[in-house]
Structure 1
Amino acid sequence: MPASNPISGARTNVRIVVVGDRGSGKSSLIAAAAAETFRQEVPPVLPPTRLPADYYPDNVPIIIIDTSSSLENRGRLAEELKRADAVVLTYACDQPSTLNRLNSFWLHEFRRLEIKAPVIVAGCKLDRRDEDFNLSVEMAPLMQQFREIETCIECSAANMLQIQEVFYFAQKAVLHPTAPLFDQETQTLKPRCVRALKRIFILCDHDMDSALNDEELNEFQVKCFNAPLQPAEIVGVKRVLQEKLPQGVNELGLTLTGFLFLHALFIEKGRIETTWTVLRKFGYNDKLKLRDDYLSVPSKKAPDQSVELTSEAVEFLKGVFSTFDDDKDGVLRSNELEDLFSTAPESPWDEAPYKDAVERTPLRGLSLSGFLSEWALMTSLNPAQSIANLIYIGYNCNASSAINITRRRSVDRKKQQTERNVFQCFVFGPKQAGKSALLTSLLGRPFSENYTPTTAEQYIVNVVDEPAGNKKTLMLREIPEDGVKKLLSDKESLASCDVAVFVYDSSSEKSLKGASELLSYVARQGEESGFGMPCLLIAAKNDLDLYPTANKDSAKICLDMGIDAPIPVSLKERDLNNVFSRIVSAAEHPHLSVPETDLGRSQKRYRQLVSRALMCLSVGAATTFIGLAAYRAYAARKNTSS
């Protein structure tokens, strides 16, 4: 599988900064590369030098930046290093002190400046070097200590020896970086590289027999390198594998083990561009994730539109769940889930907000409803990530068949109905009101007496069965009391909220007051932003004694705001009073239970008065126009008769 004109991504140029001690040969190196001949006299510091696109096979132009190593130019040097795609670090072969300075100063300085660019160490003035010097022996400890060194090379501008190779290796380190693919210390492919290559192998294994036969190998070669494999080449590949890794090939063809081994071999032999060509042909970027142009995520949607999976995508996921549920016990255990995502860069649900969003235990694993709930949450919060992971696990259709952008919520309110299947509910409330307990009860988790303050937003998601037998997905998003102002500082923050609930401790007058203030604040923000939503009060801790005027106070709040009466619940005693079905019902009727503040009512009355005044003016103007028209008709008839 030879590399032929490998893809270099979307780069328009590669910026290479050349640094090193004074007199180490920086400017002569650059001048010789640009002129392709040795120049006796060169300026101390050259202006930016451009090598044209056709200088190297990747067809990407190179911009070379010469630098001064003087103390007064240190600031400029640091700026150039931070803009570098790659760094060529020079020393003079005839000056051992410049070689020692690589370790004693330059490489430590790069780390101090947090330079992430790959480094090519270039020994200049090779024609003057001592014959006893052994490059590989001398450089091995340095490359072991500083992994950012991509390669070491010696060159001579005077003899035009390996001048072009210096910048070729620098460009190659940028366009075909080693670090994402290969662990130099263990001499093995990195996990994310293995996952990407495994996905590519599966995509090319059309008959799904876990091996690439000769025809499949040939199709793979043509797709990646635009040239078929000759029969003798296929035989040669198999012979190499049979000698070095017998399990890499079987009677059916090249196995996944053999496929991975070949790519590790290419990299070890300095042909990393071969592996990068394969990865980029299948849509991967330098971080070994699918490029944006492979995802086709609709970028335009109104703030109050949401994104859901289509029924086609849901059916695909149900099939995937069944396929990877090896023991057919109705749950995906951790090893089964890891196998499912083994062709993705990593499992997408190992971090917040997905990690604890559904009920999942080490023993029982993830149920189908929990599995689909995780996908619903990811699709709502990050459609691009959801589409990417669908593709990673084998979804072959385009994005438009996988996701659906819902109708605007403002339109739903006017039509007094919604077509959404996934609802996002913001959970507000003062401290110790019972917000977290409400969230965990959606998953059926037992009540805990231990109080742990919530310091960051968290999500819980599950399927809710409606009385009519329908199923909707409910996402609860807990907003800590201290985070409300920060959330609402964004005018569009409420756009994604289908329904808001305000939890309070029904035994505490202070808690009710806090919930009431939050309700008024959120309602006011909703009125001002135009993203008002149904709101519900939830009277938690109903197992405790109510304070004397609790019912009267809460009823007045609801009456004043124009919303439904509070929903009493006891999370401790699992007396939930159908609270989640009622939350879903409120979201399904977006025109009801939308609170109004005094300011909102005043503005509404003002708009009504203005509307009536304009209508009166319109009627008056119309009457005057009709009267004038009638008079003119009468005058015309009178003139005609006379």
Structure 2
Amino acid sequence: MPGGNSTSGARTGVRVVVAGDRFTGKSSLIAAAATESFPENVPRVLPPTRLPADFFPDRVPVTIIDTSSGLESRGKLFEELKRADVVLLTYACDQPLTVSRLSSFWLEELRRLEVKAPIIVVGCKLDLRDETQPVSLEHVMGPIMQRYREIETCIECSAVTHAQVPDIFYYAQKAVLHPTAPLFDQENQTLKPRCERALRRIFLLCDHDMDGALNDAELNDFQVKCFNAPLQPAEIVGVRRVVQEKNKEGVNDLGLTLQGFLFLHTLFIEKGRIETTWAVLRKFGYDDELKLRDHLLPVPSKHAPDQSVELTIEAVEFLRGIFRLFDIDNHGALRPADLDELFSTAPENPWCEGPYRDAAERTTQRNLTLKGFLAEWDLMTLLDPKGSLANLIYVGYDGNPASALRITRRRTVDRRKQRTERNVFHCLVFGPKNAGKSALLNCFLERPFSAIHNPTVAEHYAANVVDQHGGSKKTLILQEISEDGAKKLLSNKESLAGCDVAIFLYDSSDEYSWKRSCELLVELARRCEESGYGVPCLLIAAKDDLNPYPMAVQDSVAVCQELGIEAPIPVSVKLGETNNVFCRILSAAERPHSNIPKTEAGRKRKHFHQLISHSLLFMSVGAAFAVLGVAAFHAYTGRKNSSS
């Protein structure tokens, strides 16, 4: 599998910043590269210098930025370092002190500035080194490179003799276009996990007969796709022989195994041919972070804040099939190991971290049920449509990516039509501290009640499929809103636009809890009236097993009547008495025109608008009668004149 011409992705240029102590040869190095000679009189700091595209095989131009290490230029130097695609850090071969300054100042300073660009250490003035005291580059730079893994490579040169000057800028460009860091762990000499996962997916895509090995035809197809050149029979034999000599499990009777495929790429990188592996990755659509490029992810753009993105029926059916495929023991649930295997061709398992980690229903053995599996995908699609589509493709979705997601109709239109076509509903759960919000979310996921109160400090979601009367299933996503986070959310009208229903939870035994929840409800009603996004709302009287606050029942019923919403729903998660609350929340979301709270100010505005509308109607009717009257008069006078 020899490499061909690699593609460098979408880059149109590489910015190289040269830094280092005074008199280490920075400007002379740049001048020698640009003129292919050694100019006698070089300015202390050169202006930006451009090496044309045809200098290098990748045909990407390089712009070199010279810098001054003087204190007066420190601000400009730091600014340039932060903008660099790659940093050349120079020392003088005839000045040992400049070598020690690399670690005592320059490399520490780059870390302090959080410069993420690769670093190439360049020893200049090689022609001035004392030949009577030979120095090994590995001996000098080995300890430094062990300590500073961000160093890509080290090289020594002479601007006077032009020795290795072109190589320096070739390596600089290569470090940017074909970076080592995302692919290879230099310390352990192994492929990095994300690189291995990408190559695993590529192997599976090329294994057309799915027998776990690339036969001669599949290997040749792979070569043609990536390098536009077929493999000769002798080359295929050579590839197999090289792998078999070093890795016996890399080849079997059927062809090149996944282990052999990964070994080959490790070998390419170890031999300095990292551009070959990058060519393969880029041909299959990967960017520098080893994720699929955006142009391969046609996520439909939302036209309004009150629209959302959902999976299509086609995508859901694919996911059902994937679930059955990985449910090897046919127990109706995926073990953590099954999920790791499912996402082994993705950059990582997206559900290992928040907000997805504990957001779906699992069995007592922590296995993910089909309901939980589909709900996790619905949650990911709601929060991160592009990430959801990418993961669909990573796990094997081979349909048209544009057919996997759909944009929902605007919620304002749903309210006007008094019905919705959505399959996924987003519910905001408001309430003061210790009202029982987390307990309600855990109950939704059928987790046992815990009396221990753990305040929520991160995003907390619960997603589950709710069975309805008639057999239909919809996904309900509950998002817990902390008391501190409520103010920020309510000030953002687009957050309310993306909400299908809001519930306001309060501890029915606590006066403050009730009053604070009521304040939040009224505040949301006021914000909705200002923004024009009406949100159905429900009050939930939690902890119904405790003695109620004496006025809570009477006050809450009065408030609901005043706002025009349903009476509070009593719930005791501790006793398991949920009063069918989740179906009722879903029902409120599916009736987008009902349970929208109206404040007195809002009703007055509505009454005013109705009066205006009636007045306009009266005026238009009066104008119509006037027009008819004029028309009748003209008709009458016309007849009268004709009869005379």
TM over 0.5: yes
Tell me whether 245-254 or 92-101 shows the greater mean CA deviation. Answer: 92-101
Shift of the alpha carbon at 1:364?
4.5
Flag the 1:211–1:50 CA change in 2: closer, same or farther, 3 A: same
Flag the 1:78–1:548 CA change in 2: closer, same or farther, 3 A: closer
Partner of 1:357: 359
What are the superposed Cα offsets for residues 457-510 of structure 1, whole Å, 9 maximum, x if unpaired? 410111111122221111111111121111112121111211111112223333
Partner of 2:608: 606
Equivalent-residue separation in structure 1 for 2:602 and 2:458 (angstroms)? 31
Please list every run of 5 or more consecutive structure 1 residues that lacks an aligned counterpart in the other structure.
none
Kept after mapping to 2: 8 A contact 1:463/1:473: yes
Partner of 1:138: 140
Kept after mapping to 2: 8 A contact 1:296/1:398: no
1:623 to 619, 625, 628: 625
CA RMSD of aligned residues (A): 1.5
What are the superposed Cα offsets for residues 374-395 of structure 1, whole Å, 9 maximum, x if unpaired? 1111011111110011111111
Equivalent-residue separation in structure 2 for 1:547 and 1:183 (angstroms)? 62
Tell me whether 583-592 or 136-145 shows the greater mean CA deviation. Answer: 136-145
Equivalent-residue separation in structure 2 for 1:161 and 1:510 (angstroms)? 79
Equivalent-residue separation in structure 1 for 2:95 and 2:550 (angstroms)? 91
Partner of 2:303: 301
SS at match of 2:346: coil
Q: Please tell me whether residue 422 in structure 1 is matched to residue 424 in structure 2.
A: yes
Partner of 1:62: 62
SS at match of 1:494: helix
Shift of the alpha carbon at 1:403?
1.2
Shift of the alpha carbon at 1:405?
1.3
SS at match of 2:496: coil
Equivalent-residue separation in structure 2 for 1:114 and 1:587 (angstroms)? 47
Kept after mapping to 2: 8 A contact 1:423/1:473: yes
Percentage of identical aligned residues: 68
Kept after mapping to 1: 8 A contact 2:428/2:479: yes
Letter in 1 for 2:159: A
Equivalent-residue separation in structure 1 for 2:160 and 2:432 (angstroms)? 77
Tell me whether 577-586 or 540-549 shows the greater mean CA deviation. Answer: 540-549
2:292 to 290, 314, 322: 290
Shift of the alpha carbon at 1:640?
3.9
Flag the 1:303–1:129 CA change in 2: closer, same or farther, 3 A: same
Equivalent-residue separation in structure 2 for 1:578 and 1:333 (angstroms)? 30
What are the superposed Cα offsets for residues 99-120 of structure 1, whole Å, 9 maximum, x if unpaired? 3322332222222222221111
Structure 2 counterparts to residues 279-358 of structure 1, below 5 A:
279-358=281-360
Partner of 1:37: 37
Q: Please tell me whether residue 102 in structure 1 is matched to residue 102 in structure 2.
A: yes
Shift of the alpha carbon at 1:359?
2.9
Partner of 2:209: 207
Q: Please tell me whether residue 182 in structure 1 is matched to residue 184 in structure 2.
A: yes
SS at match of 2:557: helix
Partner of 1:2: 2
Shift of the alpha carbon at 1:436?
1.5
1:588 to 581, 590, 595: 590
Partner of 1:160: 162
Shift of the alpha carbon at 1:441?
0.9
Equivalent-residue separation in structure 2 for 1:78 and 1:430 (angstroms)? 47
Partner of 1:264: 266
Partner of 2:530: 528
Equivalent-residue separation in structure 2 for 1:95 and 1:552 (angstroms)? 87
SS at match of 1:321: helix
Letter in 1 for 2:342: L
What are the superposed Cα offsets for residues 426-468 of structure 1, whole Å, 9 maximum, x if unpaired? 1112222222211111111122222222344410111111122
Kept after mapping to 1: 8 A contact 2:16/2:85: yes
Partner of 1:92: 92
Equivalent-residue separation in structure 1 for 2:186 and 2:503 (angstroms)? 54
Partner of 2:127: 127
Equivalent-residue separation in structure 2 for 1:428 and 1:413 (angstroms)? 22
Equivalent-residue separation in structure 1 for 2:626 and 2:320 (angstroms)? 69
Structure 2 counterparts to residues 444-483 of structure 1, below 5 A:
444-483=446-485
Kept after mapping to 1: 8 A contact 2:300/2:406: no
Equivalent-residue separation in structure 2 for 1:510 and 1:146 (angstroms)? 56
Equivalent-residue separation in structure 1 for 2:377 and 2:455 (angstroms)? 28
Equivalent-residue separation in structure 1 for 2:99 and 2:568 (angstroms)? 77
Kept after mapping to 2: 8 A contact 1:27/1:45: yes
SS at match of 1:486: helix
Kept after mapping to 1: 8 A contact 2:302/2:407: no
Tell me whether 537-546 or 474-483 shows the greater mean CA deviation. Answer: 537-546
Partner of 2:370: 368
Letter in 2 for 1:467: H
Question: TM-score, with normalisation over the residues of structure 2?
Answer: 0.97
Equivalent-residue separation in structure 2 for 1:99 and 1:565 (angstroms)? 77
Letter in 1 for 2:533: F
Question: TM-score, with normalisation over the residues of structure 1?
Answer: 0.97
Tell me whether 238-247 or 137-146 shows the greater mean CA deviation. Answer: 137-146
Structure 2 counterparts to residues 475-624 of structure 1, below 5 A:
475-624=477-626
Shift of the alpha carbon at 1:638?
3.6
Tell me whether 166-175 or 296-305 shows the greater mean CA deviation. Answer: 296-305
Kept after mapping to 1: 8 A contact 2:8/2:178: yes
Partner of 2:197: 195
What are the superposed Cα offsets for residues 495-532 of structure 1, whole Å, 9 maximum, x if unpaired? 12111111122233332222221111111111111211
Equivalent-residue separation in structure 1 for 2:25 and 2:548 (angstroms)? 85
Shift of the alpha carbon at 1:362?
7.4
Partner of 1:237: 239
Tell me whether 433-442 or 261-270 shows the greater mean CA deviation. Answer: 433-442
Kept after mapping to 2: 8 A contact 1:91/1:124: yes
SS at match of 2:154: strand
Kept after mapping to 1: 8 A contact 2:363/2:369: no
Equivalent-residue separation in structure 2 for 1:510 and 1:27 (angstroms)? 71
Kept after mapping to 2: 8 A contact 1:333/1:362: no
Kept after mapping to 2: 8 A contact 1:125/1:157: yes
Shift of the alpha carbon at 1:361?
5.6
Shift of the alpha carbon at 1:400?
2.3
Equivalent-residue separation in structure 1 for 2:80 and 2:459 (angstroms)? 40
Flag the 1:376–1:107 CA change in 2: closer, same or farther, 3 A: same
Equivalent-residue separation in structure 2 for 1:553 and 1:136 (angstroms)? 80
Partner of 1:49: 49
SS at match of 1:501: strand
SS at match of 2:18: strand
Kept after mapping to 1: 8 A contact 2:302/2:308: no
Tell me whether 202-211 or 149-158 shows the greater mean CA deviation. Answer: 149-158
Kept after mapping to 2: 8 A contact 1:457/1:480: no
Shift of the alpha carbon at 1:641?
4.1
Equivalent-residue separation in structure 2 for 1:128 and 1:114 (angstroms)? 34
